[in-house]
Every structure is written in C-alpha cells, then in structure tokens.
Amino acid sequence: MKDLGHELTDARLAELLECDDNDFAPYAAAARRTLASHAGSKCYLRALIEMGNVCAKDCLYCGIRRSNRHAVRYMLDDDAIISAVRASLAAGYRSIVLQGGEQCSDSFTLRIERLLDKISRLSPDGGPAVTLSLGEQSLSTYLRWRQAGARRYLLRIESSSRHLYSRIHPADPLHSFDRRLEALMSLREADYQVGTGVMIGLPGQTAAHLAADIRFMQRMDIDMCGMGPYMEHRHTPLYSLRAAIPPPAERLRLSLRMVALLRLVMPDINIAATTAMQAIDPNAREEALRMGANVIMPNMTPQQAKADYALYENKPLDENLPGTTLSLCDRICSTGLVAAPQDDGTSRHYSKRKASQPPVTG
C-alpha cells in the first residue's frame, strides 16, 4: 500500500467510490496511516462563528439564498462577533472561522478589515488564527483581509464539473464557474492557506464526477478541504429534484470514502470532518476522523443565529452548549487522534510549499 495515492487513476478512484465495504477497507486503513505519517496525529479544532446569513447570491441548493423569503435574516454586530471570539478563546480554541453570506461592497470589506484588527488585539500573541469564508471577492479585497491578519480562506467549488455547477447555480455572470475559479486563484495569489470542497450526492452526480473533484483539488494544490453530503432544503429550487439523489446513508458513505481517497492523493493537507456529515449520523465526524480527516469546527455562533444560518435542514444545533467542549475532545480521542484546540493547525502542505519557495530578495 506504499505510495498508494500515486497508483490511483481516475477510473480506479471512481471504482473505489462504488465498491463494497470489504474491498474498500484496506484503503480506509491506508488513509489512516497516511494521515499519521504525513499530517500527524492531531485533530485541529476551529471555532466556527456564522456572522450573518444575508447573501447576494441565489445558489439553487442553499437555504439562505437571496430569494428564500422564508429565511429569517440576521447580521451579528461587531460586539456580538467579538464576544463569540472571546467565548471561543475562553473555551480553549486558538483558531476561529468567520463565515457568512457573500457581500461585496467597500463598506463590507472595510468592516471585515476592522474586525480582523480587533480580533488580533484580543490576546498579546496576536489573537486566534483566523479563517474567512465570505465568498467570492476581488483580489484586492482578499489582499486587504490577508494584510489585516486573516490566514486561511474557505471557498468551496461545490462541483468541479462545469455542467453540474451550471445545474445548481443560476445562469448569470454572478454565479459563473469561471468567476469561482478566478476567486480560488486570487486566494492563492494573496498567499492564503486555501481551502475548497464539494457537495456529495447532488442530482446527476456520478462516481466519475467525484473522482474528477479529487483530481481538481489535487490540480489546484489546495491546503485544506471541507466537503460533505448534499443536504436538501425545502425552500430551494433544487429540492424539486430530491427524488434523483441517493439516500442519506449512501451520501454519507460516499462522503467518508471521498475523505479517505483525498487523504491518499493529498497526504499532508487538512481535511475537515464536516457538520453536514453529522446531520446524517451523530457519529459521522468521528468516522471521518478514522478515514483520514483531521479538523473539526465546533459551532460557537450564538444559539439563535446558529438556527437561522440554515444552509440546509436538520442542521445539528446542540454542540458547544455549556459543558460540551470536554465531550467533543473525548469523542476525538476515541478515534485515536489527539484533540489539539490550542494548536492553530497550519496545514503542513502550506508550510512545505512556503518552505520550498525561494526567499524574496532586494
């Protein structure tokens, strides 16, 4: 099983997504060994703060899409966000994720810049490591936020197939596949640790599409991945195609296999055990950690806002209520990984890439 990642052709990846569990078991075990040998035995924790569900976009699968009149809109003010960051620090987390709907304006850019500055002053060592997940922005905006202290950025491609992408987004320039690709490349140019990911179990999606998604992430040389099952929301256009998607257990099974296969192909990146997996099975994130994932994002959003940030239905809401941090660490330890909330969890892939770049002179 040495160098297994190099032996996986596209056809073999697709085959492995569909084979029976016994045939897949050696690959799951190899993914676990690959994690230990290339990325270590720590599970990093990133406190997730869902800062607002106001979004300029209308993605056909998303519960907070602009046209969903049923969504209860909110935007946390700076004090509420800082208070959630303080609560995350008090709970022992040294890494946070600020996530929200996409907004592109000078005032929004400036607001995030100021927030990053405030967060950096929360502790003498420069505050927690910040990951942003605020959609497609211009290179200059990404550069400003990077300059203000953000280190990582998550922007999911959702599907690397142009055709599938066009089926789950409106046909207009705001939702173009090329615009998304360009944003991902701008993030790289702005020197972020770049994360992307896909939805698994979309209508019309095949194992070949998923194998191509793995290749896409490899080609883009990403540092982090957050992917999980497509979860329906009744107030979205894509809900009308729900008869064409695999049952939840199958979507979860595919998602776990995608984690294992991506670990084999990209041994030293960070891979998240995502909440969407947990929405199908309360123990799914632990299962993902056993298949090669090494990041969990406990949700530290204030409770009411957490419910309103409903990208999909049946989102788990009960985590991080008082007293649950310890049990989260216990659950991680039960997988054999070490829970590392104090570690900012820089992707080894990124560190190696930076170390191999020639020093800037002059």
Q: Of the candidates 45, 47, 48, 55, which one interacts with ligand SF4 according to CB under 6 A? A: 55
Distance CA 185, CA 115 (A): 25
Measured CA distances, 135 to 52, 102, 119, 154, 180 (Å): 12, 5, 20, 8, 9
CA gyration radius for the chain?
19
Q: Of the candidates 46, 65, 146, 257, which one interacts with ligand SF4 according to CB under 6 A? A: 65
Please name the residues in contact with 129: beta carbons below 8 A apart, sequence gap of 6 or more: 94, 95, 96, 151, 152, 344, 345, 346
Establish if 43 lies at the interface with ligand SF4 (CB under 6 A): no
Please give the DSSP secondary-structure letter assigned to residue 262: H
Residue with tokens 């907070």: 64
Task: Using the Cα atoms of residue 295, residue 300, residue 303 and residue 308 in order, give the sign of their dihedral.
Answer: negative
**Site residues for ligand SF4, window 97-126 (CB under 6 A)?**
101-102
Establish if 228 lies at the interface with ligand SF4 (CB under 6 A): no
Establish if 64 lies at the interface with ligand SF4 (CB under 6 A): yes
**Residue 296: helix, strand or coil by DSSP?**
strand
Tell me whether residue 5 or residue 197 sits nearer to ligand SF4 (CB atom): 197
Establish if 84 lies at the interface with ligand SF4 (CB under 6 A): no
Establish if 232 lies at the interface with ligand SF4 (CB under 6 A): no
Beta strands in 41-105 (DSSP E): 42-45, 47-52, 95-100
> Total residues at the site for ligand SF4 (CB under 6 A)?
9
Establish if 57 lies at the interface with ligand SF4 (CB under 6 A): yes
Establish if 315 lies at the interface with ligand SF4 (CB under 6 A): no
**Span of 61-69, 83-91, 250-258, 332-340 interacting with ligand SF4 by CB under 6 A:** 61-69
Write down how long the chain is.
362
Tell me whether residue 232 or residue 287 sits nearer to ligand SF4 (CB atom): 232
Tell me whether residue 132 or residue 260 sits nearer to ligand SF4 (CB atom): 132
Q: CB of 225: closest distance to ligand SF4 in angstroms?
A: 17
Measured distance between the N- and C-terminal CA atoms of the chain, rounded to whole angstroms: 46
Q: Which residues bind ligand SF4 (CB under 6 A)?
A: 55, 57, 59, 62, 64-65, 101-102, 135
